[in-house]
Amino acid sequence: MTAQPRLSIRDIRKSFGTLEVLKGISLDARDGDVISLLGASGSGKSTFLRCINLLETPTSGRVFVDGEEIRMLQKNGKTVPASQKQVDHIRSELGMVFQSFNLWSHMTVLENVIEGPVHVLKRPKAECIAEAEALLEKVGIADKRHVYPAHMSGGQQQRAAIARALAMKPKVMLFDEPTSALDPELVGEVLRVMRALAEEGMTMLVVTHEMGFARNVSNRVVFMREGLIESSGSPEEMFGSVASPAFRQFIGHYGN
Amino acid sequence: MDLAFLSSTMLTLIAAIPMTLALFALSVSLGGMLALVVVWMRVGGNPVLAAIAKGYIFVFRGSPLLIQMFLIFYGLAQFSVIRYGPLWPLLREPFVCAVLSLALCTAGYSAEIFRGGIRAVSAKDIEAARSIGMSGPLLVRRILAPIAFRHALPAYSTEIVLMMKSTALASLVTVWEVTGVAQRLIHQTYRTMEVFLCAALIYLALNFIVLQALGLLEHRLSRHLRPVPGGR
Ligand SMILES: Nc1ncnc2c1ncn2[C@@H]1O[C@H](COP(=O)(O)OP(=O)(O)OP(=O)(O)O)[C@@H](O)[C@H]1O
Ligand SMILES: [Mg+2]
């Protein structure tokens, strides 16, 4: 059985002006893969994640979601998406969780969660509300459904943001340092939700500095350095004796 | 204090309120719609449209409303395309000229106020919307506009109150709204103080109501900023 990857990225490059941030990255995520992306600040992790759902337009390279390639074309010497409609569709299949939650502050938690299903997927509202309430139950904030984001802790907001992304029934979830903006005592509640998702078989790409998550939850660890994948492997390989010296030095900094 | 005179003056002026309100309501709504078009041109990304919008805003914010009104009222007849055009029966009406100039002017100010509101929308809110697959008109309608409007509302409220007062200028192109009627009364009675005092009271009362309504709207739209009563 050669299942086609959920997500396939081929030789992505990205430059900001003359600064080349991504220098050719390829990565496959199969169904149920949980891939931790590690790397020093400025190594291009966020840019890479944002290139996948085209929040940044890659300078070159190809992205496939469930076999569907995001079509690009050249316009005045710049690479641009060929079809905004396709980009919207692809984005609706990729859940994104941001470091600073990015909940819409003028909407309650429930309104945040149903916004996409109701207005992007155009599904019946009652159905979406029922599903949203189940999701909020799952991430443990059902009692907060009518609360505005500003009235919740960071951990609760991030769990709401995860629920918002899940409400789109994404094929892959992308996390960009989901716990980095949280007080240490709130990190655990978000990691627990992510772990539960992983155990359910969600395909996940997680930029993180949480070595515990990388080691214990993900099935693959990818180490980025200066816009390239320096090394990658199973957690056993990466945290064992065969790890590359650069990666060992990197994790040394994180005291793990 | 001549109470009999004051009350008869008040009654005469109150009879002119519908005209003031008509000027106000029409110019605020037309001006608001025009402002949306102008701000869309201004921030839409097309440099030619943006330049036109900038020019528009500069002209209507940079010159006195009174002169704009005179130019429209006395000036339009100079153009034979207009004078003999299909819209002339409308455009020669003082009321129409007054509404037109008030609307054109407030559109310039409102466009800038709306632009400020749009600029205040955080990139994070937009990215969150994009990340679930929103773009174009849907993103504007569901995320950008509601947030931008909340940011713009305090300044826009001020503009609306100013518009109520600006309707007084229509008296100078012979529209019989509250100030026009007040001046007519003064010519008849020479009792400037009392008549203008009554007129001022009327504008205060009207704006009091408008401000209450706007305050209510702002209150409703800012629930998310208030602490929850009694904890949660
Ligand atoms: N919009 C942009 N314009 C210009 N340069 C950018 C932009 N976004 C990122 N960069 C640069 O690209 C490089 C990689 O940034 P990126 O945010 O991807 O790193 P990162 O690995 O996510 O780092 P961190 O751990 O700090 O989040 C940095 O040097 C950054 O300054
Ligand atoms: Mg980053």
| Neighbour order of strands in the sheet with A7-16 | A19-29, A7-16, A60-65, A68-69
Q: Indicate the pLDDT class of residue A255, thresholds 50, 70 and 90.
A: low
Distance A48 CA to ligand 1 centre (A): 9
Please indicate if any CB of chain B lies within 8 Å of the CB of A40: no
Q: What is the pLDDT of residues B156-174, one digit of tens each?
A: 999 999 999 999 999 999 9
By C-alpha distance, the chain A residue nearest B145 is: A106
Ligand nearest to the CA of A45: 1
Delimit the domains of chain B by residue range: 3-223
| pLDDT in the model for residue B86 | 87
- B133 with A103: Cβ contact below 8 A: no
Nearest to A100 among B124, B143, B150 (CB): B124
pLDDT of residue A241: 80
Q: What is the pLDDT of residue B42?
A: 96
* B147 in contact with chain A, both atoms CB, cutoff 8 A: yes
Q: What percent of chain B has pLDDT over 90?
A: 85
Residue A44 CA, ligand 2 centroid: distance in Å: 7
In SS3 terms, chain A reads as: CCCCCCEEEEEEEEEECCEEEEEEEEEEECCCCEEEEEECCCCCHHHHHHHHCCCCCCCEEEEEECCEECCEEEECCEEEECCHHHHHHHHHHEEEECCCCCCCCCCCHHHHHHHHHHHCCCCCHHHHHHHHHHHHHHCCCHHHCCCCHHHCCHHHHHHHHHHHHHCCCCCEEEEECCCCCCCHHHHHHHHHHHHHHHHCCCEEEEECCCHHHHHHCCCEEEEEECCEEEEEECHHHHHCCCCCHHHHHHHHHCCC
Q: Is the pLDDT of residue B80 over 50?
A: yes
**Hey, what's the torsion of the CAs at B132, B137, B142, B148, to 10 degrees?**
120
Query: What's the gap in Å between the CA of A118 and the closest CA on chain B?
Result: 11
Q: Which ligand is nearest to the CA of A47?
A: 1
pLDDT digits (tens, 9 = 90+) for A120-136: 999 999 999 999 999 99
A45 lines ligand 1 (CB under 6 A): yes
Residue A1 has pLDDT above 50, yes or no: no
CATH of domain B3-223: 1.10.3720.10
Pocket lining: A14 vs ligand 1, CB cutoff 6 Å:
no
pLDDT at position A251 is 86
The mean of the pLDDT values for chain A is: 94
Please determine, for residue B203, whether its predicted confidence score (pLDDT) is greater than 60. yes
A178 touches chain B (CB under 8 A): no
Å from CA of A136 to ligand 2 middle: 27
- Residue A78, pLDDT score: 87
Q: Does A57 touch chain B (CB under 8 A)?
A: no
Q: Are strands A60-65 and A68-69 parallel, antiparallel or unpaired?
A: antiparallel
pLDDT value at position A2? 58
Q: Whose CA is nearest to atom 28 of ligand 1?
A: A42
pLDDT at B231 > cutoff 60: no
Query: Which ligand ends up closest to the CA of A18?
Result: 1
pLDDT over threshold 70, residue A202: yes
- Residues of B whose CB is below 8 A from A56: none
Give the confidence band of B229 by pLDDT, cuts at 50, 70, 90: low
Residue B232: what pLDDT? 45
Torsion of CA B78, B79, B81, B83, to 10 degrees: -20
Q: Residue B135 in 3-state DSSP?
A: coil
Residue A46 alpha carbon to ligand 1 centre in Å: 7
The confidence score (pLDDT) of residue A236 equals: 93
Say if A141 is an interface residue toward chain B (CB within 8 Å).
no
Does the CB atom of residue A42 touch ligand 1 within 6 A?
yes
Of A109-113, A184-188, B114-118, minimum mean pLDDT range: A184-188
For ligand 2, the distance from its centroid to the CA atom of residue A152, given in whole angstroms, is: 24
Contact at CB, B128 and A100, closer than 8 angstroms: no
Substitution target from B127, B131, B140, B142 for chain A, most A beta carbons within 10 A: B131
Residues A29-85 pLDDT 10s: 999 999 999 999 999 999 999 999 999 999 999 999 999 999 999 988 888 999 999
**Per-residue pLDDT for B1 more than 80?**
no
Q: Is the ipTM of this complex over 0.95?
A: no
Percentage of residues in chain A with pLDDT exceeding 90? 91
Percentage with pLDDT > 70 across chain B:
98
Nearest CA in chain B to A116: B132
Cβ of residue A46 lying under 6 Å from some atom of ligand 1: yes
Predicted confidence (pLDDT) at residue B57 exceeds the cutoff of 80: yes
